[in-house]
Amino acid sequence: MRKHHIAFDFLVFDNINELSAEDKSLMKVAVESRKNAYAPYSNFCVGAAVLLENGELVIGNNQENASYPSGLCAERVAVFQAGAKYPGVAIIAIAISAASKNYVVDRPAAPCGNCRQSLSEYELRQRRPINLLLMGEKGEVFKCPSIADMLPLGFNNSYLK
């Protein structure tokens, strides 16, 4: 038997104002997108903004459904839209902001497992990392250098040969 340990490094900023101008601008787009989320069941609104290599910004927000599995998270809405509208254009960064209608979200909310898997596929396809910025309504902002870091031992196309 052998024991392995998996860990990754990420940056923690005290608030949005500590981000670079480019990251701050991207996060502000995610915050605005969050305001249009359709979340009547969970009351948990998420907005995402995707920065593409060609300079385009693509947004997404969560879209719930009374049949819960039928909804879609903000991150997937944004990257699927980016893939459909700008096929083959690399994703540089994704900013994600979460808020609740019932309480203040004062810490970053990480993508769910389905979103991590979907984002990982884009990172693998483009063969370069995607920066991930995470924020609640206020407080700390996390910056992760790669989706792969957030999904260790992830399933990918190498298993389908």
Q: Which of 46, 107, 55 is nearest to 75 (CA)?
A: 46
Tell me which residue has tokens 């389905």.
114
Residues linked to residue 125 through DSSP beta bridges, in sequence order: none
- Other beta carbons within 10 angstroms of residue 56's beta carbon come to 12
Residues labelled catalytic: 75
8 is written with which tokens? 């990754």
Query: Which spans in the chain are helix H?
Result: 21-34, 74-85, 113-126, 147-150
Q: Which of 17, 12, 29, 33 is nearest to 140 (CA)?
A: 12
19 is written with which tokens? 């981000």
Contact (Cβ atoms closer than 8 angstroms) between residue 101 and residue 45: yes
